[in-house]
Amino acid sequence: MSILSVNQHHQVSSGPAIWLAGDPEDLKQWMLSGIAGIVTNTVVLNEMVTKYGQLTEVIKRYLDITDKKVAVEIDGHSTQELLDVGEIFTKLSSRIILKIPMTTYALDAFAELKVRGVETFCTTVFTLPQATAVAQAGATHVLPFCDPFLAVNGDPTKLVRECYTTFKTWENRPYITAALIRSVDTAYRALRDGADGIIVFWSVFQDMMTSSLTDEWNTLFLDNWDQMHDAGLLEGIPYKHKN
């Protein structure tokens, strides 16, 4: 088994990965919450450079708040430009993943980056032929876009299912990392339909952790814990008094 397939087997067997997006200041609190890493896109980065300055400095901010991987979305007008831009960021840290939009000239970039051992995300993937092409070219992660399909009355995770069915017998298949997920429902569907990972903004992640039933049962259990304390039956056990 190759190194790549060993790594992929490890990630799949340990469960789907959750990647977070957003302002580095907002992401700080979530870095120890079991996430796989941070993912950027050029829309967010354009906002961040307005706030924090040069793009390289923004990426350093992300790297400074975690020891996990940071996917940097880059762009360009040719294969060589993508490779030249990508090299700027891969030199910043071995934890950098290059995130590149789906284009025909990106295919050669994915092939070359695979040879160089650089982990890659292919974004803006909307069709199974696109997903298959970039996977064959060497992209490490294929990113099916989800919620934009809702705008055209489509199924947001149909492409996730198609990629899962298509790639599941490949020896060195790419990760299926569902992207542009804007709601808890779409996150649920992507995980249900076979995604190896999902990319969500921290606010969606926060919403994913809530449930009215969880709140109800947590209140019941905490009330009983408090009752044991009030009865003097938690002696020697740390307890923070109720407000």
Report the alpha-carbon distance of residue 102 to residue 124 in Å, rounded. Answer: 6
C-beta of residue 178 within 8 angstroms of C-beta of residue 142:
no
Answer yes or no: is pLDDT of 184 > 80. yes
- Sequence-separated (6 or more) residues with CB below 8 Å from residue 141: 97, 119, 120, 121, 122, 174, 175, 176, 177, 197
CATH superfamily of 3-210: Aldolase class I (3.20.20.70)
Q: Residue range 184-201: average pLDDT?
A: 97
Report the alpha-carbon distance of residue 227 to residue 21 in Å, rounded. Answer: 41
Give the model confidence (pLDDT) of 122-131 as tens digits: 999 999 999 9
The pLDDT of residue 243 is 63
Answer yes or no: is pLDDT of 6 > 60. no
Give the model confidence (pLDDT) of 86-120 as tens digits: 999 999 999 999 999 999 999 999 999 999 999 99
Confidence of residue 14 (pLDDT cuts 50, 70, 90): confident
Q: Residue range 177-197: average pLDDT?
A: 97
Q: Where are the domains of the chain?
A: 3-210, 211-243
Give the end-to-end CA distance of the chain in Å, rounded to a whole number. Answer: 56
Give the model confidence (pLDDT) of 57-82 as tens digits: 999 999 999 999 999 999 999 999 99
Q: Residue range 220-229: average pLDDT?
A: 95
The pLDDT of residue 142 is 98
Q: Residue range 184-204: average pLDDT?
A: 97
Cα separations in angstroms, 222 against 147, 208, 240: 37, 21, 12
